[in-house]
């Protein structure tokens, strides 16, 4: 799996760049790749500020390029790599993420948040094969992203388990294009998160550690909080709208606490096709890495008799208003989903650092969505400007709440 910087990939090997290599999805991707010697060579690895973790990955995988996007030039880190005999070129700053998507065949887009949009869009414009975990690229800039991907012939393979499940339930060609003509509905499953049965009173006093303790999945802290508020499902509705070109009224959400059915597609004849597996992100990652083939993922096979029961219930939009906000943002169109996403990133960060209550997340999201006016989302600049305005508004909103509480 190591790549000698002087030779590039061997015949049959695909050069893989992992954006967000030190995160939860990055870790699972490297785990799957390590099970298939000779299938992939690691071209580039990126992290934001986790220098030690990235250097450790460089020593193990010897990519041609590594990027620390949240740090300024640091020659001592370069020296550390060189002194360990590692020939990886270490780059710094957000602009260097664009270098990570050059010169590879496959990009795993696994940066968390809005920061993932520019390099993932660059990969789309370069016609890469993109394994899309960074849902924010589609939430913020769905029509633009899909247009650019189609124009450049990029292949989009969903990693989000729900979208990967839908993709697996649809007829597709080898280029990853899905045929949706006889589809009536997409049904996204949601675990309901750690507070599925919690009372309104309990939700007021939830702590960050409680919110991050997801019952079925181990994930980064941002998406864990989003799963607890159900904003994650809202973002996934927006992601599905653009990825599969489905009207929002044809995308439904059902709570399925066991996280065994990862989503379903209902056809016009009444047939519903589902994809099942244990909740392990290595399953969608292996599916996308091998597509249109299959490869071993390391996940434990399903034992349905041991699971016993699969249950379903409707989502509760009173206790979890974030899901409704996502449908509202989709209905508003333009930059509204980017505004909601940015507000939510600020609000979740404030919650994780103890400056905002759990219920305050939805309140900040709603206030910003209602107060920042949306415009056309037809260029990256327009989307990033909406993101900036929404962040400023959300920071002010969090600040006002802190003052009132003081």
Binding residues for ligand NAD (CB under 6 A): 20-26, 47-48, 50, 69-70, 110-113, 115, 133-136, 160, 217, 219-220, 222-223, 281
Q: Cβ of residue 10: shortest distance to ligand NAD, in angstroms? A: 27
* CA 252/CA 249 separation, integer angstroms: 7
Q: Indicate which of ligand NAD, Mg ion, none lies near residue 323 (CB less than 5 to 8 Å, by partner kind).
A: none
Q: Cβ of residue 113: shortest distance to ligand NAD, in angstroms? A: 6
Q: Cβ of residue 161: shortest distance to Mg ion, in angstroms? A: 5
Residue 276 or 371 having the CB closest to ligand NAD? 276
Q: Cβ of residue 18: shortest distance to Mg ion, in angstroms? A: 19
Q: Cβ of residue 225: shortest distance to Mg ion, in angstroms? A: 14
Q: Indicate which of Mg ion, ligand NAD, none lies near residue 77 (CB less than 5 to 8 Å, by partner kind).
A: none
Residue 23 or 360 having the CB closest to ligand NAD? 23
Q: Cβ of residue 263: shortest distance to Mg ion, in angstroms? A: 9
Q: Cβ of residue 257: shortest distance to ligand NAD, in angstroms? A: 17
Residue 130 or 384 having the CB closest to Mg ion? 130
Q: Indicate which of Mg ion, ligand NAD, none lies near residue 156 (CB less than 5 to 8 Å, by partner kind).
A: none
Residue 143 backbone dihedrals phi, psi, to 5 degrees:
-60, -45
Chain residues in the site for Mg ion (CB under 5 A):
160-162
Rounded to the nearest angstrom, the gap between the alpha carbon of residue 303 and the centroid of all alpha carbons in its chain is 28
Q: Indicate which of Mg ion, ligand NAD, none lies near residue 366 (CB less than 5 to 8 Å, by partner kind).
A: none
Is the separation of the CB atoms in 332 and 374 below 8 Å?
Answer: yes
Residue nearest to ligand NAD (CB): 23
Is the separation of the CB atoms in 62 and 2 below 8 Å?
Answer: yes
Residue 42 or 367 having the CB closest to ligand NAD? 42
* CA 292/CA 288 separation, integer angstroms: 8
SS (H, E, C) the chain: CCCCCCCCCCCCCEEEEEECCCCHHHHHHHHHHHCCCCCEEEEEEEECCCHHHHHHHHHHHCCCEEEECCCCCCHHHHHHHHHCCCCCEEEECHHHHHHHCCCCCEEEECCCCHHHHHHHHHHHHCCCEEEECCCHHHHHHHHHHHHHHHHHCCEEEECCHHHHHHHHCCCECCCCCECCCCEEEEEEEECCCCCCCCCHHHHHCCCHHHHHCCCCCCCCHHHHHHHHHCHHHHHHHHHHHHHCCCCHHHEEEEECCCCCEEEEEEECCCCEEEEECCCCCHHHHHHHHHCCCCCCCCCCCCCHHHHCCCCCECCCCCCCCHHHHHHHHHHHCCCHHHHHHHHHHHHHHHHHCCCCCHHHHHHHHHHHHHHCCCCCCCCHHHHHHHHHHHHHHHHHHHHHHHHHHC
Residue 70 or 208 having the CB closest to ligand NAD? 70
Residue 217 or 267 having the CB closest to ligand NAD? 217
Q: Indicate which of ligand NAD, Mg ion, none lies near residue 337 (CB less than 5 to 8 Å, by partner kind).
A: none
Residue 166 or 401 having the CB closest to ligand NAD? 166
Q: Indicate which of ligand NAD, Mg ion, none lies near residue 136 (CB less than 5 to 8 Å, by partner kind).
A: ligand NAD
Q: Cβ of residue 358: shortest distance to ligand NAD, in angstroms? A: 19
Q: Cβ of residue 28: shortest distance to ligand NAD, in angstroms? A: 7
Residue 361 or 401 having the CB closest to ligand NAD? 361
Q: Indicate which of ligand NAD, Mg ion, none lies near residue 110 (CB less than 5 to 8 Å, by partner kind).
A: ligand NAD
Residue 236 or 367 having the CB closest to ligand NAD? 236
What are the residues facing 264 on neighbouring strands? Answer: 187, 274
């Amino acid at each position: 799996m190591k790549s000698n910087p002087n030779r590039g990939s061997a015949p049959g090997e695909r050069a893989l760049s992992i954006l967000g290599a030190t995160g939860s999805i990055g870790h699972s991707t490297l785990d799957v790749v390590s099970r298939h010697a000779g299938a992939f060579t690691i071209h580039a690895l990126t992290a934001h500020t986790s220098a030690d973790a990235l250097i450790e990955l460089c020593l193990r995988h010897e990519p041609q390029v590594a990027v620390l996007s949240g740090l300024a030039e640091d020659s001592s880190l370069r020296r550390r790599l060189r002194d360990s005999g590692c020939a990886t070129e270490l780059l710094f700053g957000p602009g260097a993420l664009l270098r990570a998507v050059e010169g590879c065949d496959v990009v795993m887009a696994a940066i968390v948040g809005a920061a993932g949009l520019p390099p993932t869009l660059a990969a789309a414009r370069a016609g890469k094969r993109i394994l899309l975990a960074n849902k924010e690229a589609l939430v913020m800039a769905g029509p633009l992203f899909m247009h650019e991907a189609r124009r450049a012939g990029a292949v989009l393979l969903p990693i989000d388990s729900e979208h990967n499940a839908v993709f697996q339930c649809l007829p597709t060609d080898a280029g990853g294009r899905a045929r949706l003509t006889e589809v009536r509905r997409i049904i996204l499953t949601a675990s309901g998160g750690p507070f599925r049965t919690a009372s309104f009173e309990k939700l007021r006093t939830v702590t960050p550690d409680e919110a991050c303790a997801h019952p079925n999945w181990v994930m980064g802290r941002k998406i864990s909080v989003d799963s607890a508020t159900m904003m994650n499902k809202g973002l996934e509705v927006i992601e599905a709208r653009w990825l599969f070109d489905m009207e929002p009224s044809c995308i439904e959400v059902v709570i399925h606490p066991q996280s065994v059915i990862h989503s379903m597609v209902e056809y016009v004849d009444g047939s519903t096709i589902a994809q099942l597996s244990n909740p392990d992100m290595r399953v969608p990652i292996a599916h996308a890495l091998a597509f249109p083939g299959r490869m071993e993922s390391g996940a434990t096979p399903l034992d349905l008799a041991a699971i016993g029961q699969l249950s379903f219930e409707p989502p509760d939009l009173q206790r979890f208003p974030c899901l409704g906000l996502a449908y509202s943002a989709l209905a508003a169109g333009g930059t509204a989903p980017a505004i909601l996403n940015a507000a939510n990133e600020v609000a979740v960060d404030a919650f994780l650092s103890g400056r905002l209550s759990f219920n305050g997340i939805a309140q900040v999201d709603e206030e910003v969505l209602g107060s920042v006016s949306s415009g056309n989302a037809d260029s990256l600049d327009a989307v990033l400007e909406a993101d900036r305005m929404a962040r400023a508004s959300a920071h002010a909103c969090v600040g006002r709440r802190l003052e009132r509480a003081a």
